[in-house]
Chains A and B, each alone.
Chain A
């Protein structure tokens, strides 16, 4: 049996790859963002992104550490349903397609998801939303920084903190240099690398290990992973779907793209992006099921993907995995850094600290906030395994599930229900998050989002039915329009 004590990628090659791709992303970031002059250029890439780039950025951003590293982890922990359930996350992108069109129609001059909540529901709900949104963004950032460190440690034996620091620094640098334009441009290249690499690894795994050996060893050693009536996995199915929907519907990562894509581009970009994404978790997750057949020791669940690929494919496999996951991590980390810094700039700096900040002030603030976000993320990711919820990628990620799933209904009702109640929207997030978190600790990580979404729906429907508050849609077209009390 092999394990972490036998790193497959020589340290010198790992450092070479890290250096080469770091330079590539940073130079591309600088080159793509060299014409950015205003905060709007930096944050929304001039609001005119075309269909090809838009589809690529939607798909690449959704292929994250979560997909390339957590999909194998879930296959290892929850079996076939874990893998298939993860691919249902594509519905988040697909269902956001009509929302993106409506967002563009209602808010042609909008900047962030926070703008929408503030104008639609008022300040109290806006602040609750910011807390939910920032907890999620921070959890996602930390989980991806962790994934970077885990990857480099699993493949090359380089210290976790060193690898994590390098990847985070590179992403902060090129996001800082290029803004959303750089993020979208690099996403396009990263998409091509991710699709080709994942398909290559899955094909070689099947070719080298074979379906029969995988099936036989699973039945011998981990039979529940093939059981279609695996209780935890059945509970997980809709949980993951609603988690994905919650992540996309509320997060400024996706709203900023809805604002940045050209007119009539958003709907098709999110639809195509979702369809392209659908098979990726199955391809990436499947290889974890080969673990018993290969006799690999998996020291931490989130290491399984890179370990299996490296074991099956040797040095070439380790290099391919390294490049694919580095691309996946970079494409998501940069998007999240950019979108979260926009949210903090618009909704906290301008919304709460300096309401009359000029365009230039905001432009500078965005950059400072990217650096600060990077620093705080680095600090939290340094404590992987030492803090209770920063245990493994999946645990950290699904902890945030309760928060994001509780934001689904305030967003959907806010966009489509004219009489949605603002207080109901705030309380649906508060109660949904609270009860969802309780279920995370009392039942398991695989139900937190489901419970959060169900509670949030009940509160939103009841409050709107019992205390309807009519809303003038025209108010959304004016970003600085009158805010309801």
Chain B
């Protein structure tokens, strides 16, 4: 019994310590349209940083505050690295990181769909402009 009493303060601290560390919530691995949503679990405000280099050398703060997700869009092809820490933690104490690869659809594929759409639209205009039932 005395053993459990002695252990109690540590046990009470455990969930707090675990909850204080923000973590990404199922970050995507790749994107074909240069956009995605990054979500995280955190009990307190966080700092989210983005970098396009492997060593986070050119990192910039993307968000600082109490939200638990952010929408990213308009990125060109490349590997993007994100890292997360509690806002009150030391500047280099990063709790979690994620990498997302952006690889856009090819232009050939994009214009292929564009051409199919254009054909369907032109046929539609033709069918309506005739304006009379076919006999």
Tell me whether B73 and A225 are in contact (CB under 8 A): yes
State which residues 239-268 of A face B: CB under 8 Å. 239, 241-242, 245
CB distance from A52 to the nearest CB of B (A): 26
- Choose among A5, A232, A242 the residue that contacts B66 (Cβ–Cβ < 8 A): A5
State which residues 91-135 of B face A: CB under 8 Å. 104-107, 109-111, 113-114, 116-121, 123-125, 127-128, 130-135
How far does the alpha carbon of A462 sit from the alpha carbon of B89 in the complex, in Å?
A: 66
How far does the alpha carbon of A36 sit from the alpha carbon of B58 in the complex, in Å?
A: 67
The interface bits of chain A over 113-138 (1 if a CB of B lies within 8 angstroms of the residue's CB, else 0) are: 00000000000000000000000000
The interface bits of chain A over 368-394 (1 if a CB of B lies within 8 angstroms of the residue's CB, else 0) are: 000000000000000000000000000
The interface bits of chain A over 214-246 (1 if a CB of B lies within 8 angstroms of the residue's CB, else 0) are: 000010011111100111101101110110010
- Choose among A77, A95, A98, A454 the residue that contacts B73 (Cβ–Cβ < 8 A): A77
How far does the alpha carbon of A42 sit from the alpha carbon of B16 in the complex, in Å?
A: 59
Tell me whether B33 and A450 are in contact (CB under 8 A): no
How far does the alpha carbon of A224 sit from the alpha carbon of B45 in the complex, in Å?
A: 30
Nearest-CB residue, chain A, relative to B113: A235
Known: A237-B114, A447-B113. A5 touches B120 (CB 8 A): no
Q: Residue among A99, A234, A413 with the most chain B CB within 10 A? A: A234
Cβ-based interface call for B67 (8 A): yes
Tell me whether A229 and B107 are in contact (CB under 8 A): yes
Which residues of the partner chain A approach B63 to less than 8 Å between Cβ atoms? 1, 3, 297
Known: A238-B117, A297-B63. A418 touches B70 (CB 8 A): no
Tell me whether A5 and B67 are in contact (CB under 8 A): yes
Cβ-based interface call for B75 (8 A): yes
Taking residues whose C-beta sits less than 8 angstroms from the other chain, chain A's interface range is 35 or more
CB distance from B29 to the nearest CB of A (A): 16
Cβ-based interface call for A211 (8 A): no
How far does the alpha carbon of A148 sit from the alpha carbon of B2 in the complex, in Å?
A: 56
Cβ-based interface call for B53 (8 A): no
CB distance from B133 to the nearest CB of A (A): 5
Tell me whether B109 and A454 are in contact (CB under 8 A): no
CB distance from A355 to the nearest CB of B (A): 30
Which residues of the partner chain B approach A297 to less than 8 Å between Cβ atoms? 63, 65, 67, 70
Which residues of the partner chain B approach A304 to less than 8 Å between Cβ atoms? 71
Cβ-based interface call for A15 (8 A): no
Tell me whether A416 and B117 are in contact (CB under 8 A): no
Which residues of the partner chain A approach B71 to less than 8 Å between Cβ atoms? 76-77, 298-301, 304
- Choose among A3, A222, A299 the residue that contacts B74 (Cβ–Cβ < 8 A): A222
Tell me whether B33 and A77 are in contact (CB under 8 A): yes
Task: Please give the number of chain B residues whose Cβ is less than 8 angstroms from any Cβ of chain A in the complex.
Answer: 45
Cβ-based interface call for B28 (8 A): no
Which residues of the partner chain A approach B133 to less than 8 Å between Cβ atoms? 416-418, 473
Tell me whether A299 and B117 are in contact (CB under 8 A): no
Tell me whether B65 and A224 are in contact (CB under 8 A): no
CB distance from A2 to the nearest CB of B (A): 7
Which residues of the partner chain A approach B125 to less than 8 Å between Cβ atoms? 95
Q: Residue among B69, B110, B125, B131 with the most chain A CB within 10 A? A: B110
Cβ-based interface call for B76 (8 A): yes
Which residues of the partner chain B approach A99 to less than 8 Å between Cβ atoms? 128
Tell me whether A241 and B104 are in contact (CB under 8 A): no
Tell me whether B70 and A299 are in contact (CB under 8 A): yes
How far does the alpha carbon of A304 sit from the alpha carbon of B132 in the complex, in Å?
A: 45
Nearest-CB residue, chain B, relative to A304: B71
Cβ-based interface call for B35 (8 A): yes
Nearest-CB residue, chain A, relative to B131: A98
- Choose among A229, A235, A418, A446 the residue that contacts B134 (Cβ–Cβ < 8 A): A418
How far does the alpha carbon of A5 sit from the alpha carbon of B66 in the complex, in Å?
A: 6
Which residues of the partner chain B approach A3 to less than 8 Å between Cβ atoms? 63, 65-67
The interface bits of chain A over 290-306 (1 if a CB of B lies within 8 angstroms of the residue's CB, else 0) are: 00000001111100100
CB distance from A385 to the nearest CB of B (A): 10
Known: A222-B74, A300-B71. A450 touches B116 (CB 8 A): yes
Cβ-based interface call for B64 (8 A): yes
How far does the alpha carbon of A451 sit from the alpha carbon of B130 in the complex, in Å?
A: 25
Closest 9 CB pairs of A and B: A238-B117, A222-B74, A232-B33, A5-B66, A231-B110, A225-B74, A3-B67, A231-B105, A234-B110
Supply 23 A–B pairs (Cβ within 8 Å), ascending by A: A3-B66, A77-B71, A79-B74, A221-B74, A223-B74, A225-B73, A226-B74, A230-B34, A231-B105, A234-B111, A235-B114, A238-B114, A238-B116, A238-B118, A299-B71, A301-B71, A301-B73, A412-B127, A416-B127, A418-B133, A418-B135, A444-B33, A454-B120
Interface residues of A (CB under 8 A from B): 1-5, 76-79, 95, 98-99, 102, 218, 221-226, 229-232, 234-235, 237-239, 241-242, 245, 297-301, 304, 408, 412-413, 416-419, 443-444, 446-447, 450-451, 453-454, 457, 473
Q: Identify 15 new A-B residue pairs, CB closer than 8 A, beyond the known A5-B66, A224-B104.
A: A1-B63, A1-B64, A3-B67, A76-B71, A77-B73, A224-B73, A230-B104, A232-B32, A232-B110, A416-B127, A416-B131, A444-B32, A453-B120, A457-B120, A457-B123
